[in-house]
Amino acid sequence: MTATTHDDDPPRALPAEVIDRTRAALAGIYAAARQADVVVARFLASPLVQAALERRRAVAAADADTGALELSSLPAERWHAVLASLGRRRQKAALNRAAAAADACARTAPERAQLLADFILRAVRRDRLPPRAPLLRRQLAGRALLARARALLALGAYGGALRVIAEAHATFPRTEGSKRHRMHAQLLRAQVLAATGGAAEALETLTVSARLAIEHIDPGALVDALASIAVILCAHGAYELARPALALAAYVARQPGNEPSLMALQSGLAECAFLGYAPAPSAQRSA
């Protein structure tokens, strides 16, 4: 999560209307998140849902057994040949795992993320793999482009990141299944805007992204959006308003099953601390 740049100047206060708008938006996000928490808990308690989740886990386990992990242990120059030798189902599993790996390492190992993104884009655009799956190829291409944009953001190449985000948004198919990925593109664009000084627009986009993350039941995106909001607020000295954003992000990230979002939370907390944020005494004791 990269939300803003730092310098040695005192924080410049945000306009009052931006603060008021952000405060109102955070109140709405909090209410929506807690309501969704109740609804999801009731939904997951249903025996039918539990059975469906078991079937989904079985399918995921089967995909894991298809050899999709072979690529990560091979030299990069062999990835394309190995992918081409796999069956259609195994190609799908391998490319999905490569897209997930590129996304996961974009902030910490941007060069590797770009290497994986290039591999995916060549596979789906030039080699047209998996065959007979045009919508899947477009979705994979969009995910690879988002991973490339995250890597560019981590490297400080903000102009390039914005261009790639726009390309990713246009690449995703206009299907229900791609709405969540387009929301991720919007979230990433907001983080680039924050890093280039567009705090007001970034805050507005991030609050919209947070609401969409709740609608799509995407805890990782919700935590990322809230942590990014908090960093922008801390960069402008609005520490008290950042506090509820971080509290909700921490609540969501620490729920069972949401462990992957802890990295975004910890990154946001560290950046806020660097900007002068001090947790409330009660929060320090609970930590």
pLDDT digits (tens, 9 = 90+) for 253-276: 999 889 999 999 999 999 999 999
> pTM of the entire structure?
0.86
| 3 state SS for the chain | CCCCCCCCCCCCCCCHHHHHHHHHHHHHHHHHHHHHHHHHHHHHCCHHHHHHHHHHHHHHHHHHCCCHHHHHHCCHHHHHHHHHHCCHHHHHHHHHHHHHHHHHHCCCCHHHHHHHHHHHHHHHHHCCCCCCCHHHHHHHHHHHHHHHHHHHHHCCCHHHHHHHHHHHHHHCCCCHHHHHHHHHHHHHHHHHHHHCCCHHHHHHHHHHHHHHHHHCCCHHHHHHHHHHHHHHHHHCCCHHHHHHHHHHHHHHHCCCCCHHHHHHHHHHHHHHHHCCCCCCHHHHHHC
Per-residue pLDDT, 282:
60
List pLDDT tens digits, range 186-229: 999 999 999 999 999 999 999 999 999 999 999 999 999 999 99
List pLDDT tens digits, range 133-142: 999 999 999 9
pLDDT at 68 over 50: no
**Domains of the chain (ranges plus CATH)?**
16-42+63-277 (1.25.40.10)
Per-residue pLDDT, 65:
54
